[in-house]
Amino acid sequence: MQKNENSRAVLLTGGAGYIGSHIAVELAAAGKQTVIVDNLRNASEDALRGIAEITGSEPVFYRVDARDKDAMREIVKCHGIADVIHLAGLKSVAESTKEPLEYYNVNLGTTLTLLEVLLESGEGRIIFSSSATVYGIPDHVPVTEEAIAGRCFNPYGRTKYFNEQIINDVVAASEGKLSAVLLRYFNPIGAHPSGLIGEVPTGVPNNLMPYITQVAAGKREKLYIYGNDYETRDGTGVRDYIHVVDLARGHVKALEWLESHGKGKVEIFNLGTGQGRSVLEIVETFQRVNNIKIPYEFAPRRPGDIAEYYADPSKAERELGWRAELSLEDMCRDAWNAEKTLQSRAKKG
């Protein structure tokens, strides 16, 4: 490993994944050097090629488990890392209920290692990918950052909440060496408009948009809409869907905020649009924008689902100077474009 004397890069753990690859592109657009660490457990080098094609330069990449303390220490030292965007982890709610130990091991282990290594190095600014799932069933919508957190329903959600608590405790004890932003994502969908990076789920998708794009591609026969008897405007579940490019830009803003205002602090921001959309609205928009029929059938409610939640994103707008700009139409168009582009590339090998 060669020491990079010129600039201090941003370490992006989980940077070959769906959200991480989009963050890598936005960091490059902001003129920041990026070092990606990913063990490729749920990603492939195709994402790295996509990032290179979009940005015009190969990202620095280490195929490393972010729990490997020796390797992480070496990377932090060689690249003079102080800024970290930490996404590495496992994200399937269903899997987390079957393999809770693995989820605690990976999702907490990666964070613990990172905190240890940064403390050793003497300073660190951490952006952590948390989730609106930490709000459980919120008492009010839109959900503000002051809403009670920690009433999570599953091991995945608890790993997000525990990580938030761990980061709080370690920053508080660090005597100003560390600071952090906890970003609570609502529902990221869509893809970079080039279609060169996107969401590539393994197996049957759990989340709505990747399921819809697979129905559109003919990989699945129809969409099952989980519940049409919720107390919402059309009976189907309501969520705050946010374009992944907007979400990625929120990380760049959060990093700039941490550098200028965040010393010694831990601050929480919701990243959402502030608008709730129902499942039927998503299906309708997808069909209209892409001119494709999505056959669907109503099915029983999915256990653990809630009727409705969406963000109050005004704190991020006020303090980070960020707000979501892309529309639901953009999300549906870009998701389908990426599905087609990535599929045709996979066929060509």
**What is the rounded CA–CA span in Å between residue 181 and residue 159?**
17
Yes or no: say if 41 and 19 are a contact pair by the CB < 8 Å rule: no
* Complex with ligand UD1: residue 18 or 62, whichever CB lies closer: 18
Binding flag, residue 131, ligand UD1 (CB under 6 A): yes
Q: Which does 43 bind (CB under 5 to 8 A by kind): ligand UD1, ligand NAD, none?
A: ligand NAD
DSSP letter for 20, please: H
Binding flag, residue 93, ligand NAD (CB under 6 A): no
Q: Which of 12, 18, 85, 216 binds ligand NAD (CB under 6 A)?
A: 18
CA distances from 11 to 86, 208, 244, 308, 332 (A): 8, 30, 19, 35, 30
Binding flag, residue 304, ligand UD1 (CB under 6 A): yes
Q: Which of 81, 106, 208, 266 binds ligand NAD (CB under 6 A)?
A: 106
Yes or no: say if 244 and 210 are a contact pair by the CB < 8 Å rule: no
CA distances from 23 to 13, 98, 235, 240 (A): 11, 30, 34, 20
Q: How far is the CB of 265 from ligand UD1 (least distance, A)?
A: 25
Active site residue 156: yes
Q: 94-103 b/e with 16+ CB inside 10 Å = b?
A: ebbeeeeeeb
Site stretch for ligand NAD (CB under 6 A), options 60-68, 141-149, 211-219, 288-296: 60-68
Q: Which does 14 bind (CB under 5 to 8 A by kind): ligand NAD, ligand UD1, none?
A: ligand NAD
Binding flag, residue 129, ligand NAD (CB under 6 A): yes
Instruction: Verify cis geometry, omega within 30 degrees of 0, for the bond prior to 142.
Output: yes
| Interacting residues with ligand NAD (CB under 6 A) | 13-14, 16-20, 37-43, 65-67, 87-91, 106, 110, 129, 131, 185, 187-188
Residue positions annotated with a catalytic role: 156
